[in-house]
Amino acid sequence: MTALLDTIAAGADEAEVAAAQAQLRTLFEGRIAFGTAGLRSSIGAGPQQMNRLVVRQTTAGLMDWLPDGALVVIGYDARHGSLDFARDTAGVVAAAGGRAEILPEPLPTPVLAHAVLLREADAGVMVTASHNPPADNGYKLYLGDGIQLVSPADREIAAAIDQVAAAQLAGERTIDIADESHPSYTVLDDTIAASHIELVQQALTGTARSTNLVYTAMHGVGGAHMERAFERAGFPSLLTVAEQHEPNPDFPTVAFPNPEEDGALDLALARAEAAGADGIIANDPDADRLAIAVADRNGRQQPLSGDQLGVLLADHLIRTGAGAANVGGRVTANSVVSSRLLSRMAEAAGIAHVTTLTGFKFVARPTIEMPERHYLLGYEEALGYCVGGLVRDKDGISAALVAAEMLASLAEAGITVWDRLDALAAEHGAHITGPVTIRLDGPDGLELREAMMARVLADPPQDLAGALRTSLEDLQAGTHFPPATGAILFFDDDTRVIVRPSGTEPKLKAYIEVVEKVNGPAHAAEAYVRGNARLAKAQRSLQAYFGLDLEDD
């Protein structure tokens, strides 16, 4: 902001001054939206970005909404500003008459989600921007049930925050803040993290432990915690990617700190190849997501898609009988943008299944809405997995333990993950998924995204690579899900397309799934070739519909 003010003060170039003034207005017009994902934006001045004033106003609004004397547990990662934002959150909670308990060091998001339940808190705040770029930070809110908030709570809290900000701007309110000496401000010890490590051991269902795995923390906070969890479970020591093991908020070795992104796993893949490892496991920076790669049939390390890992984890848990003794039965869940394969596996195994809207605030909800059932697994294709409902959010630590046990178990049986995927395809069809992503940066990005979404609803594609559209569901109608922005399109060859705006990034995303029949495991490879060809044609057809050069990822 200082550079903008200097440009305006200098006044040397009218165009530069006008541009600086417009950019300055952008920073101070409106307010960063508080929604079901809390806050997430770049760090900077003004109400549109993450800064200490915004965090203090947000927390004051939250405390107005919570009951008097509410207990709020606060966690934070190692991003720029995270510690200051966490301390400000705790200070406002304590000064407002609540009880603040802050974790003692940067820790994974699932540790905070666990702490909410362990401490029987009224709310939990995690300061993190997950896998966003280095310039970003965020404020993720959990309520007392240990799940991220949903409507109408998000709207009510947003209104309370707006009232605080308006009153402060008018000089009608101040926001008090306490320091660590306040009797209601407590810095917790390491027993919370240790408790999470003990808890996630319950995700394991067998004794297979023989693995040789490379691990990357992606410059985040998962490293030491993951190593302790693996040691406690009796697995061999992980081979770490040293350049990415310690927290570094600048993420210097990756262009984008998301294991889904091209190039993010390059160092881990090279380490695995050099060490002759069985595979790799990778977290995102706050360790709530998990990616893995294993050797393909040619011996090269191949990352699994989020859908592939989701169904493999479920397959392992089903085959090892996890939760089978529960008298109320079992349940699996995944988001609507994830593959339909899990629902078909669950049906074949006599397990209830719930398809939800995108977001673990929905995917984890069967843990409280169906308490009589054992929550076997919930997942999203974007590398988020909740095993056993141990933490009511995605947890890259517990999922990594189960993934390692699965790999060890298959190896003991002389079976590869590709063999299991072929067997599942033979039984339920080869399900092939892939996105089309439209990134819409710039000041008119939101308006363009809304216009493109409106077009999908008003004038949807009638065919997709030769397949005719058979139905369209406007998610805003709330027919099968709570109302949301998006559309589901079905075509007569069992292709499904879901179009929705990203909840955390300036993108419009289309999720495509094609299904191919398989005449036995030996013919799975042929089915995948056909299915991948159909997927590529569908992606090109959708690109032509939007009329843009699109980024496929």
Helices (H), 141-218: 153-169, 191-200
Q: Give the Cα-Cα-Cα angle 255, 258, 264 (nearest 5 degrees).
A: 55
Tokens for 354?
Answer: 């719930």
- What sign has the CA pseudo-torsion 307, 308, 312, 318? positive
Rounded distance, CA 293 to CA 404, Å? 11
The DSSP code sequence of 269-293 is: HHHHHHHT-SEEEEE-TTS-BEEEE
Closest by CA position to 436, among listed 464, 462, 457? 464
The DSSP code sequence of 406-448 is: HHHHHHHTT--HHHHHHHHHHHH-EEEEEEEEEE--STTHHHH
Amino acid at 217: A
> 460 near 489, Cβ under 8 Å?
yes
Residues with Cβ within 8 Å of 9's Cβ and at least 6 positions away in sequence, in order, are none
Name residue, tokens 């989020």. 306
Q: What's phi and psi for 405, nearest 5 deg?
A: -65, -40
Catalytic residue among 41, 42, 82, 130: 130
Instruction: Give 184: exposed, middle or buried? Use CB within 10 Å, 0-12, 13-18, 19+.
Output: middle
130 is a catalytic site residue: yes
Residues with catalytic function: 130
